[in-house]
Amino acid sequence: MCGVSTVLITNPLVHACAVCVTGAGDPTTDAFNWSVLFLMAMPYLVVGSIAGGLFYTYRRTAAKREQAQTAEPPVHLAWNDKESGR
């Protein structure tokens, strides 16, 4: 395993994409690599944006509901006051 890893790390030809056959140093190889990196990152970006949007909406809604619940009652009645013990 160590031997295989050493060969893979030190051999410059493995920097080429597995699909293209042009080898290292060709602009097509770099183009493919950048494209693959971009497409790898996109699902995380999309799912992260959706999750972030849902979380932001949840926090905003929860804050609004909490504000509505702790709001002052429109009419002060005896049983709303602390002195009544209720």
Partner 1 sequence: MARSSTARRLDEDLGGREAKQPAFGGGDPPAPPVWSNAPIGSNAWVAVLMFLGAEAMFFAGLIGAYLVFRLGSPLWPPPFQPRLPVGVTGLNTLILIASAVTMHWSLKAVRASNRQTLIRRLVYTAALGGIFLVIQGFEWLRLIHYGLTVSSSVYGGLFYTLIGFHGLHVFGALIWLLVVLLQARRGRFSKERHVGLQICVMYWTFVVALWPVLYGLVYLY
Where along the sequence are the contacts to partner 1 (CB under 8 A)? 27-28, 30-32, 34-36, 38-39, 42-43, 46-47, 49-50, 53-54, 57-58, 61-62, 65, 69, 78-79, 84-86
The amino acid that residue 15 corresponds to is H
Choice between 3 and 76, CB closer to partner 1? 76
Choice between 13 and 44, CB closer to partner 1? 44
* Shortest distance (Å) from residue 32 CB to partner 1: 6
| Phi, psi values for residue 46, rounded to 5° | -65, -50
Q: Strand locations in the chain, DSSP E?
A: none
Exposed / middle / buried, residue 26 (Cβ in 10 Å: 0-12, 13-18, 19+): middle
